[in-house]
Structure formats: C-alpha cells, structure tokens
C-alpha cells in the first residue's frame, strides 16, 4: 500500500498512519509506504513496517 503526503507533521501524522494501516490490514500486507517531499523514517506498528521515503528516492528506486 502506498500513501502520499507533502509532509508528515504534528497535524497529519496520525491521520496518515491510520490511513496506511487500514489499507495494510485490509489487504493483509506486511507493510506500507508513505511518500513525502523530503522526509525519511521507518515505523513498526502492530508488527507491520511502515516506510517513509522522499519522492525522489522512491522514483530512483523504481527506475
């Protein structure tokens, strides 16, 4: 599952993570990806990995 947001911040972090977790659970995935403008991070929630990557890095990896 892939979620896209300009940035993760105090105002939207919970909403974005809840959204990706809902998709991950619905499709029984081991994790998901949140694409941002320039942030990078990793979370593990309920034994599922959530990766946060900047869009440029994600695009270079998919070439």
For the chain, the domain total comes to 1
Is pLDDT above 90 for 62?
A: no
Measured CA to CA, the distance from residue 43 to residue 63 in angstroms comes to 25
Mean pLDDT over each residue of the chain, to the nearest integer: 96
Range of the domain at 7: 2-61
At residue 32 the predicted structure's pLDDT band, cuts being 50, 70 and 90, is: very high
Count how many Cα atoms sit within 13 Å of the Cα of residue 37 in the half-sphere of its side chain.
4
């Amino acid at each position: 599952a892939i979620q896209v947001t300009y940035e993760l911040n105090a105002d939207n972090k919970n909403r974005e993570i809840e959204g990706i977790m809902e998709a991950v659970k619905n499709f029984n995935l081991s994790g998901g990806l949140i694409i941002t403008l320039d942030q990078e991070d990793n979370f593990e929630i309920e034994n599922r990995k959530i990766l946060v990557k900047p869009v440029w890095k994600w695009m270079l990896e998919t070439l």
